[in-house]
Structure 1
């Protein structure tokens, strides 16, 4: 649905919710997809949102959960907290296991336990089994409702069984298992339909399997799906027994979630802000640690500037100090962002000298940028002071600051990666602080060396 139509739908839902026109609102919801309802919900105030969700629960119990799944965790949580445990349990019943995990995962522990207690024993056991896996792993997000057949099944029988199990979500591939349930092969539906009906699956299946373990990080699963253009990745245990699937809809969610997570980390915060945006103290607690690191770095920069100012006692030198610091910080942040993203997606790795190639590429780019910026800064400095030595100090220090910032922006994330520290979390404040300090040291250090020529 286009943005304009979502706006119209939101206005309609708001008007009907305010009037309490349940029958008319129900008629509107019956004609709209869950994703569009979720988009329109964002246009409503919390009381109106709750009215619509409760109406969807009563009139469309099979799709009400899908509406909430389309919302961001920070949008979904306040709504769920206003629902009774029995209402949340009703939302979960029609959903696939992985979708139920996503909803229950965002609940406070007390509410989660209350909801789980209301579920049927098989559903509760299935959810608790997946909660036993680490967060953000393949085991936590996999769908345990999959379709597999023994390798001695004929093609004709396999097609018939697929028709019998039409309720299974997203049958993209037919997975072939041995008598112990171990995954031994896979077939696409196209390969199955084009095969002779009398042939056994074991004769035509592909044995070159790409799988994930239950403890595989979800981002790695997404990379596998992207690298091989698969619509689903099978999840197996240590004995290669098939436990579930991570399907393409989950992969899309993972890519979006990881990109947002990396973005928040690089600016020194967390996507938990979306969950606690109404709690100022909680959000401040998330932001403060790396802001304090930045504060320490900036304080050190200020101390260095004061020391140089006392030694040099030349006020005109301060004019270009922000330029050197700012340009170094900018190029350092750009390089750091590329490095962190490259490490996250696997484009920068240890194999084949990819790290070295990336590093040399960033140095070359830094040299080109430094030459251009230094020439411009030198011209401006010459215009302001008519002193060749001043222009030389400005140009040289800016050139060195930019090249060094390119190195810092590349090397620091790689170093954190090797030390087992998440580069997305630690790199931002460290690169900014390091670039500032480096710029100050280079600029005032060169000025100190050339002070006799500067004051003539």
Structure 2
């Protein structure tokens, strides 16, 4: 949902476009931050997007705009732009952002863009493209400050002033040996407070948090969060420094990972549904909803199996929705707690039995509370003690098993390297519904003496 300022901006630009007020549009477009313009672009046709893009004077600003656009919007816009215009913008962007954008394009077009880029820039981008998108190598920046360990503080400052004035992350100076291997790091504050002739190796921090190029981006983000650092150095298999992952990329990682987990938990895959067209959105949701449909069919057969019970005691049907709902709710709660705990590192796979035991205890206690409550309602409504006991016991069993399944499945999935977020989707929810119905009718049949 747009905030008030962005809503006003979108409405104002649309109104000026309709009126053809080019002069006013040009002023607004060039004064507005590229991140805010990307929000405007989502609600415009490609023709209008091109019209606004031509008004932006600063090529660097166009690059920021490109990096902020979602995948479908950028793909549609790039199809209408000349390759030379795209190359001009990409050459002014950080290498990691360029690699991300080129990775979204068809292979034929991305190859054509790389051919037209300057040799040095294209080689750097191709080097990044060889890594998977969700690894440290795929998101790292190759523009960083690195100097030999024998260099003095004075010489280091002079080199920063002459060679590194355009570097993206100037807060850390990485120290390497004669083979380019990472041996330490120092901050700019350390650099200016020590004696000018002090070698870097005498005051650098040797305990450096570094990651390999194949480390998952989520692990990199957790490292930044845990140690409150602004960048993480990335090293190759020989421990040579090849890039850094900056904090702005880490923020994007947290947002992407959180969005991906939420979509998986809702049974929507892991793509951005809100930016997809009707056909793609339908195709994405269709297989996930198949589990719910199959579960409904299984519940139908289970209820049909107890048709005799329902025929004699029709009032049993009144408690089906609430028993299924209570089981489904606590199952979702348990799985959400476990999935989030695993994602943030607060829970470990080795803790499976303590986690499952805790959630099972919680499910049992809550089941007793709500079982007694619903049993009392059944007693007051139908004046049947056995029905009240059956409802009470069914709720206890349903909520206990749901908590067990909801906590156990994510832990087991994580153990076999499957994203545990899928455990809160339709598969687990539907299985809990089936279990709840089966327990309810089995207990009711035995208690009512059928």
- Give the TM interval when normalised to the shorter protein: over 0.9
Mapped partners of 1:335, 1:93: distance in 2: 48
Structure 1 residue 132 displacement after superposition: 0.8
Post-superposition shift, 1:29? 2.5
Distance 1:76 1:379, change over 3 A: farther
- Partner of 2:26, secondary structure, is helix
SS in 2 for 1:287: helix
Q: Call closer, same or farther: CA 1:274–1:193 in 2, change over 3 Å.
A: farther
1:224-263 mapped onto 2 (5 Å cutoff): 224-263=223-262
TM-align CA RMSD: 2.1
Partner of 1:94: 92
Query: Is 1:389–2:386 an aligned residue pair?
Result: yes
Tell me if the contact between 1:153 and 1:200 (Cα under 8 Å) persists in the aligned partners: yes
1:133-282 map, 5 Å: 133-164=131-162, 165-274=164-273, 277-278=276-277, 280=279, 282=280
Q: Compute the displacement of 1:273 (Å).
A: 4.7
- Does the CA contact (< 8 Å) of 2:114 and 2:122 recur in 1? yes
Deviations along 1:158-211, one digit per CA (max 9) or x if unpaired, are 122222221011212110000110000011222222222221110111111111
State whether residues 144 and 243 of structure 1, in contact with CA within 8 Å, keep that contact through their aligned partners in structure 2.
Answer: yes
Q: Distance in 2 between matches of 1:8 and 1:285?
A: 34
Structure 1 segment 20-419 matched on structure 2, within 5 A = 20-56=20-56, 59-164=57-162, 165-274=164-273, 277-278=276-277, 280=279, 282-311=280-309, 313=311, 314-351=313-350, 354-419=351-416
SS at match of 1:246: strand
CA contact (8 A) 1:210 1:234 kept: yes
2:440 to 439, 443, 446: 443
Rounded to whole Å, the distance in 2 between the matches of 1:216 and 1:139 is: 8
Secondary structure in structure 2 of the residue aligned to 1:185: strand
Under a length normalisation based on structure 2, what TM-score does the superposition of the two structures give?
A: 0.93
CA separation in 1, counterparts of 2:10 and 2:274? 23
| Distance in structure 1 (CA, Å) of the matches to 2:109 and 2:406 | 44
Task: Please state whether the residue corresponding to 2:306 is helix, strand or coil.
Answer: helix
Structure 2 vs 1, CA of residues 275 and 148 (structure 1 numbering), >3 Å: closer, same or farther?
Answer: farther
- Could you tell me how far 1:295 is from its partner in structure 2? 1.9
Measure the CA separation in 2 of the matches of 1:331 and 1:198: 65
Instruction: Give the Cα separation in 2 of the matches to 1:181 and 1:199.
Output: 21
| Matched length | 447
Query: For residues 195-254 of structure 1, what are the alpha-carbon distances to aligned partners after superposition, in whole Å with 9 as ceiling and x for unaligned?
Result: 222211101111111111110010110011111111100000011000001000000000
Residue 234 of structure 2 aligns to a residue in which SS? strand
Aligned-residue offset at 1:266: 1.6
Residue 423 of structure 1 aligns with which residue?
420
CA contact (8 A) 1:186 1:207 kept: yes
Q: 1:328-385, CA deviations, whole angstroms, 9 ceiling, x for partnerless residues?
A: 011111111121222222221135xx33333233223323322332122112211221
User: In structure 1, how many angstroms separate the alpha carbons of the residues matched to 2:328 and 2:3?
Assistant: 38
Secondary structure of the residue aligned to 1:412 is helix
Shift of 1:312: 5.4
CA distance in 2, matches of 1:378, 1:311: 19
Q: TM-score, normalised by structure 1?
A: 0.92
Assess if the C-alpha contact under 8 Å between 2:349 and 2:414 holds in 1: no
* Displacement after TM superposition at 1:396 (Å): 1.1
Residue 4 (structure 1) shift: 3.2
